[in-house]
Chain A
Amino acid sequence: MLRFVPIITLFFMVGPVSAGLIGTILPSFGTLPALGGDGASLEPWRTLLAQPGLDHSIRLSLINGLAATLISVVIVMLFCAAWQGTRVFRMLQRLLSPILSVPHATAAFGLAFLIAPSGWIARLVAQVAGWDRPPDLAIIHDPLGLAMIVGLVIKEIPFLFLMTLAALPQADTDRTAQVTASLGYGRITGWFKVTLPRIYPQIRLPVLAVLAYSTSVVDVAIILAPTTPAPLAVRILGWLSDPDLSYRFMASSGAVLQLGIVLVAMGVWIGGEKIVGALGRNWAVDGRRLPHDGWLRHGAAILAIVAAGAVILGLVVLLVWSIAGFWAFPDVLPRNFSLRLWAREFDALGDSLAVTLMIGVPSVLVAIALVLGCLENEVRTGFRPRKRVMWLIYLPLLVPQISFMFGLQVFFTLVGLDRTLFSVVLAHLVFVLPYVFLSLSDPFRALDPRYGQSALCLGASPNRVFWQVRLPLLTRAVLTAMAVGLAVTVGQYLPTLLIGAGRFATVTTEAVALATGGDRRMIGIYGLLQMMLPFAGFALALLIPAILFARRRGMGGNNRI
């Protein structure tokens, strides 16, 4: 039975993506019978290529995605190199982990409320400069998309940081640092020359997932990116919701093109890796110590803290907006406060939280069961999946959502499963599984095999070893993985709306629907509500082990498990 779990798991991820892609590719070549598209034709592609500013949209998606990824990776690597093993490092670790539970859109709104010409920073400046009007400056929706890059970077830093954190123990970093330091290397140089080459392969797939996400992101782009024209993914969504139904064909071609852009971005990135690798090999052995890196170390710390601070300050501004009365520019605070909207939303809140959990709990439970099955199977058979299989696990994170979700909707309708809880959970599972796998596989594999071996020698059955030895030892990791999974399902917008035919009103679908009304107070309320469940999940993942193991020092927080 256990033998089949990895295959089933892969099927849950690869199946929907493939079905969805087929449902997207066919219309892009003119096949969509309901709209009279019966034959094969290149017309949708011709229409797509004739769209004004298409080249600009492509460039925006490609370059901004690459830039956001590069900046995030550089900041995270520099910070880890500069501060690993110090108090500053642990402090930031505590700061960044909760930020992981902030949905992208919430962070983006927070940033916008902070840096926009009428935002909070401008209001502070206005006090000194005496402005009574916001400056006529395109700070968000700026032509180059810089605001979007910043919005992506502040959310990707925590993700990449935690991924790096998971990889660090396997590189024996502390002793490596001692050796490089004793040879006279600067902290950063030593880390980049010796540790980075061992860490990078471990975080390469997460980095590519960040790249794929950044190149095809929709929500952050709507909030922060330029609109004349917008990045490609945003325009595809616009075409899909155009009343002129013939746009559907072109939108499908656009979705295929979007997939192509992601592939090109990955090609560029991998090419860049090769160049950096080649140059790095010479640099690593050129013997230069570069010990005076204090300015760079502090620079890295400042960047990381500013990034985390922007998210946190953004949340504070969201909170203030959610209770604001009329709040004119350039007032630093609203003239009066009101809990009216919170009170009004309170009833609806219970419903949407319940629906969110109704989808989230089964998704997370199925995901954790499958992932544990896969990993346990590895332990018993001693068979570790090869690199290529890992790529398959990442597939749902590498293929842009917009490229396969619409196709998947048609597929589910075709087999008569749309708008059922079953199919919504299935659609969520596609995204929950990879993240649960990612966060659980390292701690599971890192668990000392001698615990299990001892138990087996004492006559315990493999099942008993799993339930009574491995699982209890891994409580903390399993709960964290579940919290990650919950955060992922709570954040899903397109899958919930499309596959559920809008019948599953989760906190996120409600938040996005109300955000189109544009009232910052509602955006504030639902932005914070969206965070609530993931945050509670992570809090429980910390709290439960603390209670369970209160009397077991060996299972304490500093234990590696």
Chain B
Amino acid sequence: MRYEEFKEGIRDGIPICLGYISVSVAFGMTAVLSGIPVWAAVLISLTNVTSAGQFAGTNLLVAQGTYLELALTTLIINIRYFLMSLSVSQRVEQRMGIGKRLAVAFGITDEIFAVSMQRKKRLSASYMAGLILTPVLGWTGGTLIGATATSLMPPILSAALGIALYGMFIAIIIPPARVHKSVLYAVLLAVALSCLFYWMPGLKKLSGGWSIIIITVAVSALMAWKFPVSTEDEEDE
């Protein structure tokens, strides 16, 4: 362990940690409100360290979905980490051993990936340990705070908070949809299909988890075909 590198990682992780606390408090609250025990919400945050993926998974757990639905939903939502992990694998120090590589892989999130890609030096295991540790503590601790605060809340207030999870989803999809027309089309098409699947008689037999997987794959593939983006131009659009 190189102490200087570790310290730099901790320092770079602090802003991510602060951002994670606000989101994970909301996750802890909504998970408990939907019927998940406090310990399970904390365990989900500690073992998953992902926003959309674990929100969707938690939703499915509440709906008593099958493990297959759970596995496929998690796979589809989190498959973007595959590419991020791929990029990180090319930026870590060449001599990093397989054990350390496997440990670093655990902490690849959108934000940690983004910060690590901005670093000029090759990524050392010590730096990555610091960069991952702070956000994971914030993510798990925030969940615990949100989850315990909710069990002390009066029922009339907690009923209103049932919408909070969806509020967060809206907060994630609207800002990029404002900027990128293609994201707006993707969102509108997904919403339209989802409503169709929900309200059309016959289609309703399909469980919620499956219809979401089908819509996600179909709409994303269609958009990728009609409006391809390359990760390099993303910033300039």
**Do A and B bind?**
no
Give the interface of A toward B (CB within 8 A). Answer: none
Give the interface of B toward A (CB within 8 A). Answer: none
